[in-house]
Amino acid sequence: MYSRHPSRILHVDGDTFFASCEVALDASLSGKPVWVGGGRRGDGIVIAANREAKRFGIHTGMACFKAKHVCPHGVLARPQYDEYRRLSREMFQIMEEYTPTLVPMSIDEGFLDLTTMGSHVWRDTTPANYVNGLRARIHKEVGVPV
């Protein structure tokens, strides 16, 4: 069906979500290269790396021992999936306040349909300011950048 009004769909995705969660859970990790992964014998792989770790060439799928070799001062964090789920719920609760239509896609990613929002919303702000407000609120309250 054709509409005279364009759709406004917002995609929200947590930035290196598991690694960002680790920093949110432990502020002393802020600004440090952090990657999440590892196995029982130290032979696991990286499942997430923050931007600081990526600057050293650390990437998803890399062996953890190689990551430690290229960045000996970096931090290997063991996955804390229960905490990641908790932070994800907090993030989605905030997103639900911004739109009546939210479609979750993964633990850290969703689509917000802003099309049906009343014109009164757009009288007071622009879509860019609306998005920036959402991003800032998630980062402030959850500790995870999006």
Question: Strands, DSSP E only, in 18-127?
Answer: 34-37, 46-49, 75-77, 101-106, 109-113
Residue type, 41: R
8 A C-beta contact, residue 67 and residue 48: no
3-state secondary structure of 24: helix
Q: Beta strand 34-37 with 75-77: parallel, antiparallel or unpaired?
A: parallel
Give the catalytic positions in this structure: 109
What are phi and psi for residue 110, nearest 5 degrees? -160, 165
Token look-up 């290997």 returns 76
Q: Which helix (H) or strand (E) holds 130?
A: helix 127-142
